[in-house]
């Protein structure tokens, strides 16, 4: 994702604020991110929903382009959460009688219940990426939930163990990523926040599943990991480092995306990933104030004490969907200005 001109490239993690005419933002913000479908969140009736999501995608893309972001996404306008659109489209899960799993905050949440072999019967996000490709000339990225995280967000009533379930999810993700690349994605990303919430289980089989998901995928591949949305997890000042990070240096992803601004992490942690390009969160999404270009430049320069310039991409922390659109725009403008200043 390097722009090739010595300037720090910029991107977004995935999501962007959905318009209030599209989704009930108040209800979305009052609940945990859904793992099963939550169609009640949409304000637009089903026959018109895809057209409305197309229009919302256009607005998100225009905002990112005007701010000057180099590698953009569709803002995840079609999703109720980052993971449930893909996870609930697979065969082998019972959505009518969902299971229950503990969220990373320790609360119970309805989740897909695995009752048979996990299979991807059809493309899930391919139209999303094809539409995005048709409306912008910028480089584009699309995100898919990772196999380890989907395993943690499911009730396993079929497979012998979590590893077997994770590898089945990885096969489905790999099939999707291949079609997303064919559909025009310059960059593909798998989201694995639960690596940090469940590091013990991650050490048992996460890298194996991640590598299977990325097998044969050419070009830039990103693995995103974090401590949870700022909207949900507010006490990150007690975080001193990632419990599952250096293990990712051996995974197949070319880039590792991490949040850094809200938890104010020491840039020394970047030494744990000497072979990866870092997509670094330099916008604090727990703050309702927009950063200045100087704020962003300072955070980037702090990271450049550890990383060479060609191995750094600047981004927000994750969870931009919970911001107001006005604040999101101002933060992205600061991101781009700060990257140029740095």
Write the DSSP string, 261-312. TTTT--GGGGGG-TTSEEEEE-S-TT-SSPPPHHHHHHHHHHHHTTS-GGGE
**pLDDT of the residue at 263:** 81
Task: Find, among 29, 73, 79, the residue nearest to 53 by Cα.
Answer: 79
**pLDDT of the residue at 262:** 85
Task: Find, among 112, 193, 108, 116, the residue nearest to 149 by Cα.
Answer: 193
Has this prediction a pTM greater than 0.75?
Answer: yes
**pLDDT of the residue at 233:** 64
**pLDDT of the residue at 6:** 77
C-alpha to C-alpha distance for 222 and 216, rounded to whole angstroms: 14
Tokens, residue 116: 């048979």
Q: CA torsion sign, 323 to 327 to 328 to 331?
A: negative
Instruction: Give the angle 312-15-297 at the CA atoms, nearest 5°.
Output: 35
Report the half-sphere exposure of 284 (CA within 13 A, side-chain side).
Answer: 19
For residue 23, what is the DSSP state? B
Binned average pLDDT, 10 residues per bin, the chain of 342 residues: 74 98 96 92 98 98 98 98 97 95 81 98 98 98 98 97 98 98 98 95 98 98 87 64 94 96 89 97 94 97 96 96 97 98 95
How far, rounded to the nearest angstrom, does the alpha carbon of residue 92 sit from its chain's CA centroid? 24
**pLDDT of the residue at 5:** 59
**pLDDT of the residue at 241:** 83
C-alpha to C-alpha distance for 154 and 168, rounded to whole angstroms: 13
User: Torsion-angle region of residue 216: left (phi > 0), alpha (psi -120 to 50) or beta?
Assistant: left
Distances (CA, A) of 88 to 37, 93, 122, 257: 7, 7, 12, 25
Neighbours of 339 (CB within 10 A): 25
C-alpha to C-alpha distance for 83 and 37, rounded to whole angstroms: 10
**pLDDT of the residue at 228:** 73
C-alpha to C-alpha distance for 329 and 63, rounded to whole angstroms: 7
């Amino acid at each position: 994702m390097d722009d090739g001109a010595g300037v720090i490239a910029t991107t977004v993690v995935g999501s962007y604020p959905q318009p209030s005419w599209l989704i009930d933002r108040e209800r979305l913000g009052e609940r945990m991110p859904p793992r099963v479908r939550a169609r009640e969140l949409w304000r637009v009736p089903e026959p018109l929903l895809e057209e409305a999501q197309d229009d919302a995608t256009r607005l998100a893309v225009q905002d990112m382009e005007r701010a000057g972001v180099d590698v953009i996404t569709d803002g995840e306008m079609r999703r109720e959460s980052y993971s449930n659109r893909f996870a609930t489209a697979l065969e082998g899960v019972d959505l009518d009688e969902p299971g229950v799993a503990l969220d990373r905050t320790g609360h119970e949440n309805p989740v897909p219940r695995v009752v048979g072999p996990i299979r991807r019967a059809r493309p899930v996000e391919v139209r999303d990426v094809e539409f995005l490709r048709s409306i912008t000339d910028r480089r584009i990225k699309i995100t898919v939930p990772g196999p380890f995280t989907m395993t943690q967000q499911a009730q396993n009533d079929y497979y012998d163990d979590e590893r077997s379930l994770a590898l089945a999810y990885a096969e489905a993700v790999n099939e999707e990523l291949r079609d997303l690349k064919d559909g025009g994605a310059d960059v593909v990303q798998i989201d694995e926040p639960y690596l940090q919430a469940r590091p013990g289980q991650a050490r048992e089989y996460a890298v194996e599943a991640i590598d299977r998901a990325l097998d044969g995928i050419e070009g830039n591949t990103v693995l995103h990991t974090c401590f949870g949305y700022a909207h949900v997890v507010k006490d990150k000042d007690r975080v001193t480092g990632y419990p599952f990070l250096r293990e990712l240096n051996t995974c197949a992803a070319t880039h590792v995306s991490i949040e850094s601004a809200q938890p104010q992490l020491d840039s020394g942690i970047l030494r744990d990933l000497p072979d990866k390009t870092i997509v670094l969160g330099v916008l604090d999404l727990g703050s309702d104030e927009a950063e200045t270009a100087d704020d962003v430049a300072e955070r980037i320069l702090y990271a450049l004490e550890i990383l060479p310039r060609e191995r750094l991409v600047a981004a927000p922390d994750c969870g931009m969907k919970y911001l107001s659109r006005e604040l999101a725009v101002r933060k992205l403008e600061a991101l781009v200005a700060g990257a140029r200043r740095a």
